[in-house]
Amino acid sequence: MANLKEIRNRIVSIESTMQITSAMKMVSAAKLKRAQDAVTQIRPYANKLQEILANLSSSLDISENDFASDKEEKNIVLLCVTSNRGLCGGFNNNVIKATMKLAREEYAGKNVSVLSVGKKANDAFKKTEFNIKGSYLPSHLEELWNDLTFDNVAPVAEKIMQAYKDGHIDKIVIVYNSFKNVATQIVKTEQFLPILPPEEVEGETATANLDYLFEPSKEEIVEELIPKTLKIQMYSSLLDSMAGEHGARMTAMHKATDNAAEMNKDLKLEYNKARQAAITNEILEIVGGAEALNN
Amino acid sequence: MILEVITPDQILFKGNVTHVVLPGLDGSFGVLSNHAPMISALTEGEMKVDQIVAENKGDEFFGKYNDEHKNDASFTFTIKGGIIEVKDDKIMVLAE
């Protein structure tokens, strides 16, 4: 029979674990709310920018742009977006696996390197052949998560764009978790550079035909616009990933709390059984003793 | 006319204005009511807004500068660059 004290100790330990997991769940829920707000905040901005770009490129060929050149794809950079912290289920592993698969299969035979955002990706890729060499790419990207604002993301995006312009890289792909709902994150792969032609928005032809004045010229506006859309694209992927991280952690912690409660229930049952057995034993001994005295 | 200034992180201003001065790539320019549709790129510089204070009290007008300059007929702030679209008597500034 299990030792009473042993079971009691386990119950206490599980209870304190439960406290931690449920507190973490609550913290993640609050952070998730904020992250989701940020995602909804950026949407009108991104949509408007996309609309203007689509509007301009319908009358202008953007394939001449610095960021659109169709070079041979030799040096490929995969931007792997993970979190700094763990305890969020398969969140980080899914992205790392997807990145690994891209590097090993789709881009096999090319010069692939992985630029990692977040400590988890950094730890995973540091020891592989995909580790970044050279200083033309930004580093210490895990610090982005400490304070994720557009002003912090913009310089990183600029540095990557500069590296592309200078010909160090021929293609950049972002791999990240996109937030679908609290329980589900979908690993998404998005081409960052070279830029893809903007999709024609259905039903937006009316605005496209409007006679706009362009100040200065269309070409110069496009020149300004494309880096902006790229920065926004990167920022929104990071925001999406952050919302996904908190969602994943919330779900993981919720499950952990549930499991702990379940385990606690079983242990309590076992504890009571053991206690009952000990009492029965004691009564038996007393009765036995009394009987022995009577005789 | 309605002016809306947004950045990726927040809404800076939304409200009725009479006149806006913007830092264009080729120098600053002003926009008055009923301007023709226009798309323009902005550079780093100062934006000057003349708002109609009385008409900007509704709940639909909110933003950082709506609160800060609640009663100022005219105020300025700096932006790092951006894109502006003027359409249907509405100015949309995508600032940075």
Residue B90 is part of a domain; what is its CATH number? 2.60.15.10
Q: Which domain, by its residues, includes B89?
A: 2-95
Which pLDDT does position A137 carry in this prediction?
80
Task: Say if B87 is an interface residue toward chain A (CB within 8 Å).
Answer: yes
With cut-offs at 50, 70 and 90, classify the pLDDT of residue B9. Answer: confident
Domain ranges of chain A: 27-250
Task: Say if B28 is an interface residue toward chain A (CB within 8 Å).
Answer: no
Q: Which of A23, A17, A39 is nearest to A177 (CA)?
A: A39
**Cα A274 to Cα A9, A10, A200, A222, distances in angstroms:** 14, 14, 71, 77
Which pLDDT does position A206 carry in this prediction?
46
| CA–CA separation, A54 and A208 (whole Å) | 8
Q: Provide Rg for chain B, Cα atoms.
A: 12
* A293 token code pair: 């005295």
First to last CA, chain A: 32
pLDDT digits (tens, 9 = 90+) for A244-286: 999 999 999 999 999 999 999 999 999 999 999 999 999 999 9
**Partner residue opposite A52 with nearest CB, options B29, B36, B83:** B83
**A114 neighbors A78 (Cβ within 8 angstroms):** yes
Q: Most B CBs within 10 Å: which of A147, A156, A212, as the mutation test of the B interface?
A: A212
**A149 neighbors A209 (Cβ within 8 angstroms):** no
Sign of CA dihedral B90, A50, A64, A208: negative
Do strands B27-32 and A171-179 pair parallel, antiparallel, or not at all (unpaired)? unpaired
With cut-offs at 50, 70 and 90, classify the pLDDT of residue A133. Answer: low
Q: Which of A292, A259, A245, A284 is nearest to A94 (CA)?
A: A245
For A140, left (φ over 0), alpha (ψ -120 to 50), or beta? left
Q: Most A CBs within 10 Å: which of B6, B7, B9, B90, as the mutation test of the A interface?
A: B9
Q: Which residues of A touch B39 (CB under 8 A)?
A: 52, 55-56, 212-215, 221
Q: Which of A37, A39, A90 is nearest to A248 (CA)?
A: A90
Which pLDDT does position A2 carry in this prediction?
61
Choose the most confident range, by mean pLDDT, from A76-80, A113-117, A267-271.
A267-271
**A79 neighbors A192 (Cβ within 8 angstroms):** yes
Task: Say if B96 is an interface residue toward chain A (CB within 8 Å).
Answer: yes
Kind plus residue range of the DSSP H or E element containing B95: strand B90-95
Q: Percent of chain A, pLDDT > 70?
A: 91
**A110 neighbors A78 (Cβ within 8 angstroms):** no
Is pLDDT larger for residue A153 or for residue B55? A153
pLDDT digits (tens, 9 = 90+) for A163-211: 888 888 888 999 999 988 888 899 999 888 888 776 655 544 444 556 7
| CA–CA separation, A126 and A122 (whole Å) | 6
- pTM here is 0.84
Mean pLDDT value of segment A207-226: 77
Length of chain B: 96
Q: Percent of chain A, pLDDT > 90?
A: 41
For residue A227, the SS3 value is: helix
Interchain contact, A212 vs B9, CB within 8 Å: no
Q: Does pLDDT of A134 surpass 70?
A: no
Task: Say if A213 is an interface residue toward chain B (CB within 8 Å).
Answer: yes
Q: Does pLDDT of A228 surpass 80?
A: yes
**How many domains does one find in chain B?**
1
For A287, left (φ over 0), alpha (ψ -120 to 50), or beta? alpha
Burial of A216 (0-12, 13-18, 19+ CB in 10 A): middle
How far does B38 lie from chain A, in Å, by closest CA?
A: 4
Q: Does domain A27-250 have CATH number 3.40.1380.10?
A: yes
Q: Most A CBs within 10 Å: which of B40, B43, B84, B89, as the mutation test of the A interface?
A: B40
| CA–CA separation, A89 and A158 (whole Å) | 32
Q: Percent of chain B, pLDDT > 90?
A: 32
> For residue B73, how many C-alpha atoms fall within 13 Å in the half-sphere facing its CB?
1
Which pLDDT does position A287 carry in this prediction?
95
Q: Percent of chain B, pLDDT > 70?
A: 100
For residue A252, the SS3 value is: helix
Q: Which residues of A touch B11 (CB under 8 A)?
A: 41
* B42 token code pair: 């902005």
